[in-house]
Structure 1
Amino acid sequence: MTLFWISSIVLIALSGVLVALPFIKKKENNDEALRDELNKALYKDRLSELEEETEEGLVADQQELIDDLKQSLLDDIPTEKQVSEHTQLNPWVVIIPSMLLTIALSYGLYAKFGAAEDVQQWQQVTSNLPALSKKLMSPEGASLSDDEMQDLTLALRTRLHYEPSDATGWLLLGRIALANRDIETAIGAMDKAYNLKPDDPDIMLGYAQSLMMSQEEVDQDTARATLGKLVQRNYMDVRVFSLLAFDAYERKDFAAAVRYWSIMQQMIGPQDERYQMLARSIENAQKQMGVTAADGKSVSVTINLAPQVKASSGAALIVSVHRADGSPMPVAAARYPLGSFPRTVVLDDGNSMMQGQKLSQLEEYVVRVRIDSDGNVATSQGDWYGESQATEMGQAVEVIVNTKY
């Protein structure tokens, strides 16, 4: 409110100057002086006319007419009393009432028709931005009421108006818009954040999430490309694979959806309550493909690295299941981000590679695990690998990666 009072005082002072200006710059040659100058000019013109008329013989008594003209001039000159009465008017008699009237009208009309309460509430909400942001980011963030969400949005917009280069602020505004299903605002805010920090993983994820909600195919393609960059960077976040799985399922790419949901299962582990929900999603996608895991048969593989194994963060983990006779052609295989170890992955018929041969049909098998360092599955030079013993279907397998090609 300080700025409001300063601005209003400056405007009222300016109005006062405009009111007083005519009195301050009042000229000394008032109306009476101007009238006197005009009478003199008329007198001289009339004298010239009388001389011409006398020369032409039109005037019989020139002097009498001149005397009458002089008398008329004297009668038109104001008296000293009239001049003093006119000049005795004090300019402050006009200036002070005018200023008081201006102040009364200005603040009175603003109090009646202005938005003083709204401005005050807006400034209060803006000052409360840190507290609202902290509450939103806390575990209890979902407890924010609708009014608090609106206040937080208003405060964020105000801050971003003055600090448009705040990428974190745009990200937070985009997340709020996504929570409110305001897709247009979410995409706009996330786009600004992405342009400011295109390499920030959290911003990339939020940007992709907002574009996934768009109905435009171009936006959805951009979202897939952005999520793909995160996967290539080995950004292990369940939300990335959840978005990819949802998108794949919507596009009826059920095999990809199963693959992404399986990765999510491995990331959260069986103890997480979401594990069974993902299992149902996988089962549903497999039904859509006409694939079922016979009697629920699957291969659970626990993987660990030997101490001497060194792998770059950009490497990939390839797990393949082969017939127990040592056939090089895998019956089932899956590719995962490297992640951390030890870890457990699960393969089932959704990972089958051979037509007419399902993983669940095997009675015995061996599991091979390879760390692919160059991204090309056809080359193995310099890669680390490990292999299990022949195992019967239904038994857990443990593989230690300890050998280098």
Structure 2
Amino acid sequence: MNFWLSGVLLTLVIALICFYPLLRRTTRTSQLKRDTLNKAFYLDRLREIERDAQQGLVDDPEQVKIELQKNLLEDIPPESAVNFEDKFYGKLWFVSGFLSLLIIAGAIYFKIGAWQAQDMLAKTYEKLPYFYERVKDEDNNPLTDQELQQFATALRIKLQNEPNDAKSWWLLGQIGMSLNNGNLAFDAYGKAAKLEPENTEYKLSYARILMMSDDTNEKMRGEELLKEVIRRDHSNMQALSLLAFYYFSREDYKMAAVTWTMMLKLMPEDDTRRELIEKSIRSARDAIAEQTEEKK
């Protein structure tokens, strides 16, 4: 309701600016032309009377002049009549222009206006419960990229009204990762971790995206978050794994090997990941050996 009222008022202002001055100018110009013509006719006729009087063609020139003035006054309409006519046609033209402008603006809005996008957003938001159910069966029935985009849009709308919903921010970050949208994931994970700084899952997700950054300070921030998690839970395999790969990427092979060895001790003997960890430890030790040879 407020939108339509604002639209009508804006159209009215535009109509006032566009039409009203033009109409006033037209009326005044028309009246000015009429007065000029009457004056020119009167002076011309007056010269003719004086010329005829000199030639003896007019018996009573003064009486002719009086009749001429009388005719001129009769040709001038009463001021009230002129004003009424001007105002009537001015209002008529103004209302016509205003209605035309309103109809054209309304037609353009309905054709290409934002209401279509708003309607689409509303329908997308209504599908949010459906997306929540689909996520539960993500392994067997994964969401398509288009569905993920719609899911992200629905979550954004939800977060506009509920900006302190940390879980929704984290879920939006997960969608960003699935869509390879690093900026979306970075911002969403960061807000989730800020809202619930003690949530280990949110902290690990934020640390992971920080350590993927090219910025050294962000990498260091990610490392610190991982260490915070490990200090609280020294057996957190996800934090240890991320930290080990981080050490390996910056060529701190000794710390990488120590971290992987710690992980190996925490794993049960039948864990399928042991082989990969053992291979990673050997790679780190080989890299240490190469560094030692280069120093000699």
Do these two structures clear the TM 0.5 threshold for a shared fold by scoring above it?
Answer: yes
Please say if residues 153 and 173 of structure 1, whose CA atoms lie closer than 8 Å, have aligned partners that are also in contact.
Answer: yes
Please say if residues 229 and 236 of structure 2, whose CA atoms lie closer than 8 Å, have aligned partners that are also in contact.
Answer: no
Please say if residues 135 and 141 of structure 1, whose CA atoms lie closer than 8 Å, have aligned partners that are also in contact.
Answer: no
Distance 1:126 1:264, change over 3 A: farther
Q: Write the distance in 2 (CA, Å) between the matches of 1:259 and 1:142.
A: 39
Q: Write the distance in 1 (CA, Å) between the matches of 2:268 and 2:262.
A: 10
Shift of residue 204, structure 1, vs aligned partner: 1.7
Q: Write the distance in 1 (CA, Å) between the matches of 2:87 and 2:281.
A: 100
Distance 1:97 1:72, change over 3 A: closer
| Number of the residue aligned with 2:212 | 213
Query: CA offsets per residue over residues 74-124 of structure 1, 9 Å max, x none?
Result: 4354269x6699389599965775565345312322344435544432222
Q: Write the distance in 1 (CA, Å) between the matches of 2:154 and 2:97.
A: 40
Please say if residues 178 and 210 of structure 1, whose CA atoms lie closer than 8 Å, have aligned partners that are also in contact.
Answer: no
| Number of the residue aligned with 1:159 | 158
Query: Could you state the TM-score of these two structures normalised by the residue count of structure 2?
Result: 0.65
Query: Could you state the TM-score of these two structures normalised by the residue count of structure 1?
Result: 0.50
* 1:7 maps to 2:11: no
Name the one with the larger helix percent: 2
> How many equivalent pairs are there?
257
Distance 1:279 1:216, change over 3 A: same
| Number of the residue aligned with 2:224 | 225
Q: Write the distance in 1 (CA, Å) between the matches of 2:154 and 2:220.
A: 33
| Number of the residue aligned with 2:274 | 275
Distance 1:204 1:181, change over 3 A: same
Query: CA offsets per residue over residues 220-264 of structure 1, 9 Å max, x none?
Result: 111111111111112643221110111122223333323333443
Distance 1:97 1:87, change over 3 A: closer
Matches within 5 A, 1:158-237: 158-234=157-233, 236-237=235-236
Distance 1:87 1:225, change over 3 A: closer
Q: Write the distance in 2 (CA, Å) between the matches of 1:271 and 1:98.
A: 84
Distance 1:282 1:198, change over 3 A: same
| Number of the residue aligned with 2:148 | 149
Name the one with the larger strand percent: 1
Structure 1 unaligned segments of length 5 or more: list them. 24-29, 39-62, 292-405
Please say if residues 183 and 213 of structure 1, whose CA atoms lie closer than 8 Å, have aligned partners that are also in contact.
Answer: no
Q: Write the distance in 1 (CA, Å) between the matches of 2:169 and 2:134.
A: 17
Task: Give me the identity figure in percent.
Answer: 25
Please say if residues 254 and 286 of structure 1, whose CA atoms lie closer than 8 Å, have aligned partners that are also in contact.
Answer: yes
RMSD of aligned C-alpha atoms?
Answer: 4.5
Q: Write the distance in 1 (CA, Å) between the matches of 2:14 and 2:184.
A: 46
Structure 2 unaligned segments of length 5 or more: list them. 21-26, 36-61, 291-296
Q: Write the distance in 2 (CA, Å) between the matches of 1:237 and 1:243.
A: 10
| AA in 1 matched with 2:227 | G
Q: Residue 185 of structure 2 aligns to a residue in which SS?
A: helix
Please say if residues 230 and 236 of structure 2, whose CA atoms lie closer than 8 Å, have aligned partners that are also in contact.
Answer: no
Q: Write the distance in 1 (CA, Å) between the matches of 2:279 and 2:105.
A: 69
| AA in 1 matched with 2:215 | E
Distance 1:250 1:130, change over 3 A: same
Distance 1:253 1:15, change over 3 A: closer
Distance 1:17 1:185, change over 3 A: closer
| AA in 2 matched with 1:135 | R
| Number of the residue aligned with 1:357 | none
| AA in 2 matched with 1:124 | K
